[in-house]
Amino acid sequence: MDYQYLKLAENGTICTVTISAPKSLNALNTAILTELEDFVDHFDCNKYRCLIVTGDGEKSFVAGADISEMANLQMLQAQTFGSRGARVFRKIETLHVPVIAAVNGFALGGGCELAMACDIRICSDNARFGQPEVGLGIIPGFSGTVRMARLIGMGMAKELIYTGRAVKADEALRIGLVNAVYPQAELMSKAIEMATRIAANAPLAVKAAKLCINDEYDMPADEAIANESTIFGRCFLTEDQKNGMQAFLNKGKCEFQGK
């Protein structure tokens, strides 16, 4: 599929996808969601070890969902639109490689929801996060009510969603919505730096760690611990484990092959 709204770049085993609809501040419409879903569906997790998601321009990561498209939707149409966005974001959340959101500028509504679907969020010092939907007579529709509460706690999530208040980068860092804040000029280099560090590790182990963290979040503690033990044991079936530990014992460095 040829993409009109996505720009792709690669740096070794790191892939960057940039959402590019500058006139609407990269607002998500059906066309962009369709392209994003196709991109994720065809993403080569054997070729790439990390994915970076960002937005085009200095003003906006993703300003939200496209209100001009939503304004005249009927109930079932709105449910379809919301389900599409939620489905795409869930695919990002469960992608077999880590996903870093490099948030530049506005991440409101659907933009905040997209960032929250990623494994790690870093942002520029001019970033703004929020779920302003109640001011439009709706609620977050791309799983924002689910992920925000899990990321920053129920009390803070309720405050932000009920009030529609946007938070600046420093507050987003304080409440745990983002992992780090950087000057805008450094954002992408810092994202590449983090992705490079991730990509240098054993890819099967990173994949297993992501699977554990995602799956075990809602498990009872005993079940989660047993699940981790099982997946830990499976790591010892890989060449990466054997080569990595042997390199450590020999005081060397391992180039992991993902086998």
Query: Which of 35, 113, 216, 255 does the annotation list as catalytic?
Result: 113
Q: What are the two backbone dihedrals, phi and then psi, of residue 103, each rounded to the nearest 5 degrees?
A: -95, 115
Nearest-5° Cα angle at 63, 58 to 68: 130
Contact 28, 15 (CB under 8 A): no
Catalytic: 113?
A: yes
Q: Which of 167, 165, 162 has the alpha carbon at shortest distance from 177? A: 167
- Among residues 35, 69, 93, 133, the one annotated as catalytic is 133
Tokens of 3: 């993409």
Decide if 228 is catalytic: no
Interior angle at CA 182, CA 204 and CA 212, nearest 5:
25
* CB contact set of 157 (below 8 Å; sequence gap of 6+): 145, 148, 149, 151
Whole-number Å distance between alpha carbons of 226 and 232 = 10
Catalytic residue list: 113, 133
